[in-house]
Structure 1
Amino acid sequence: MTQPVPMTELWRGPLLESLHLGHAVICDDTGQIVRSWGDPQSVIYPRSSAKMIQALPLVTSGAAAKYGLTSEHLALACASHNGAAIHTDRVTAWLDHLGLNEHDLRCGPQEPADTAARDRLILADDTPCQIHNNCSGKHCGFLTLAQHMGAGPEYLEIDHPVQQACLSAVEETTGETSPAYGIDGCSAPNFATSLFGLARSMAWFASAADRSDRSSDAAMQLVAAMVKHPELVAGENRACTELMLAMNGRVAIKTGAEAVFVAIIPEKRMGVALKITDGTTRASECAIAAILVSLGVLEAEHPATRKFMNATQYSRRGLECGVIKPATGFPD
């Protein structure tokens, strides 16, 4: 088996303090590998990087149209959001539109990553609820699809029609039979795939405009929603949001837990998938930025890029003390 390769380095002074290894694949619209690092056949859980795939049945089923979902709803369905007011207000309104409430969610409560939202909870002596969960938009999508199908409320069960529809979407777009599933942080099944399969799926999304079938139309809607509302996909100070803004709607990107990252590049009909083997997010953020720069869709010196790649590290007194940068030779 091909071993993971160095992708991200953390230097402190003259010494290499940390080195992060990983695998990555770039696929084209024919489903072929354009370039790879490490083992493209490495089997991973895509985690939240697969939310666009999980949202496909929401659109292809007709549920999104039936319930009048807008591009904001679709962006939230693909989101791992910060739990800021711009996210939770919209999730609350979505549930209300369905005639449901927070108790119908099955994602579990989560403290918001957004500082203002967290401070409001503390000042009100309140606790986080499921709407604050970073996956609550995805779960609203599941609930919408379940209502449309006339299926039961336990939409996370593996044999529930919602999850079977998600499995079909994963297998159809990756071109692989998923070998296993695990339970994600939000309690939803997460279907394993090879990194090659995940990149192939992203290339399928990227080339959707070249096709006229229902699934491809749904893919275009989801990608358009992500790049139109990058602030809903993640939030302030997040790599997904800031790098999408830096690319001016040209590329959709999505992170997943344990250092997975994907990119959808319509103008090149390419998809990218990467996984840092030690699960460190700072490393996957740097690595995806480096690949996007190498493909000519992200400016190396853009301020957003410099927050995640070739990023100066500071002490708590503001002294320059190190740098996070692509590993020597990556991705060249």
Structure 2
Amino acid sequence: MTNPVPMAEIWRGPILESVHMGHAVICDDTGQIVQAWGDPETTVLPRSSAKMIQALPLLTSGAAAANGLGTEHFALACASHNAAAIHVGRVQAWLDHIGKTDDDFRCGPQEPRDLDIRDTLIREGRAPCRIHNNCSGKHAGFLTLADHLGAGPDYVDPDHPVQKACKAAFEEVTGEDSPGFGIDGCSAPNFATSLHGMARAMAFFAAARDGAGTQQSAAATLRDAMTACPELVAGEGRACTELMRAMGGRVALKTGAEAFFIAIIPERKLGVALKITDGGTRGAECAIAAILVKLGLLDADHPATRKFLNAPIRNFAGLVTGAIRPAGAFA
């Protein structure tokens, strides 16, 4: 087993203060590793970076077509959103369309990341609802699929038909039998795989073509929805949204909890997966930006890039005290 390697450094003035270690893999559409850092076979939980895989059965089952779902629904199914008005309003409309309510969700309530919505709830003396959960778009997809399959309401149970379909899709696109799962923050199972397997899955999404079979058509639709609606996949100020915009829709990006990140690169049929071992999101954002710059897909001097790569660190007085920089092979 190869140890994790330095991926991002935190500098305070001239002093190296902290280092984020991790693993990363770039995979092509044949499933082969193009480049790797650290241990490509390390077992990982991709967390929310797997949402586009979890959304595949929504399309391949016919549930999406039967319910007239479109691009915005698919972007939300892949999203870890801020619960801004553009997110909550669309998820509520989706619930109304399929005849469901907030109580049908199995994810828990979550304080909105969007400050306007959060402050409105506080002023009105209302508690956050399940629809404010960053995964509510994914769960709207689960509900839609469960109804289409005629299955029961507990769609997050690992033995529920929805989760069995998600596991089957996950194992198919990663090319590996999953060794197990953990329960995600939204209560759904999150299946484990190797980092290589996750990069292989992202390369499948990168190379997928509409009309080349049910699974490929679904993957292409989800990928293209993400790049068409970056504001729905995360939200203002978020790395996924800002970096996708900076690349003009050429690359689909998705973060996951505990410092996971993926990239789907259609024009090169490449998939990227990375994991920062200490769970520090700032390290994952810096590392994915560094890889994209290294591949010539992201301008190192774009204002969005500069927020995450070689980004200044300021103290409470606004003074620049240091920076976060790519480390090792990324430097």
Runs of 4+ in 1 over 6 A off after TM superposition: none
The answer as to whether partners of 2:10 and 2:19 remain within 8 angstroms in 1 is: yes
Aligned to 2:259: 259
Report the Cα offset of residue 320 of structure 1: 1.1
For residue 282 of structure 2, what is the aligned residue in structure 1?
282
1:150-189 CA distance string (max 9 Å, x none): 1111101111000000000110000000001010000000
Q: Counterparts in 2 of 1:48-127, with a 5 A limit?
A: 48-127=48-127
The offset of 1:203, in angstroms, is 0.2
**Which letter does structure 1 place at the counterpart of 2:297?**
V
Closer/same/farther in 2, CA of residues 108 and 210 from structure 1, 3 Å limit = closer
**CA drift at 1:245:** 0.4
Per the alignment, residue 214 of structure 1 pairs with 214
Partner residue, 2:13:
13
How far does residue 211 in structure 1 lie from its aligned partner after superposition? 7.0
Counterpart-to-counterpart distance in 1, 2:3 and 2:291: 19
Q: Deviations over 1:256-296 (max 9, x none)?
A: 00000000000010000000000000000000000000011
Partner of 1:173: 173
What runs of 5+ residues in structure 2 fail to find an aligned partner?
Answer: none
**Matched residue, 1:318:** 318
Write the distance in 2 (CA, Å) between the matches of 1:19 and 1:238: 22
In 2, distance between residues paired with 1:211 and 1:184? 33
Q: Give the corresponding residue for 1:226.
A: 226
Q: TM-score, normalised by structure 1?
A: 0.99
Instruction: Tell me by how many angstroms 1:209 deviates.
Output: 2.1
Counterpart check, 1:41 vs 2:57: no
Counterpart AA for 1:287 = A
Identity of aligned residues (%): 68
Quote how far apart the aligned CAs of 1:331 are. 2.5
- How many equivalent residue pairs? 331
Q: Distance in 2 between matches of 1:230 and 1:162?
A: 26
* Alpha-carbon distance, 1:6 to partner: 0.1
What is the aligned-residue RMSD (CA, Å)?
Answer: 0.9
Structure 1 residues without counterparts, runs of 5 or longer: none
Deviation (angstroms), 1:103: 0.1
**Structure 1 residue identity aligned to 2:201:** S
Q: Distance in 2 between matches of 1:195 and 1:210?
A: 26
For 2:70 and 2:28, how far apart are their aligned partners in 1? 29
User: Contact (CA 8 Å) 2:210, 2:221: kept in 1 or not?
Assistant: no
Using the alignment, how far apart are the partners of 2:49 and 2:281 within structure 1? Answer: 13
Cα distance between partner residues in 2 of 1:68 and 1:235: 25
Question: CA separation in 2, counterparts of 1:12 and 1:200?
Answer: 37
Q: Deviations over 1:114-137 (max 9, x none)?
A: 111111011111110000000000
How far did residue 330 of structure 1 move?
2.4
Whichever residue aligns with residue 3 of structure 2, its letter is Q
Letter in 2 for 1:223: R
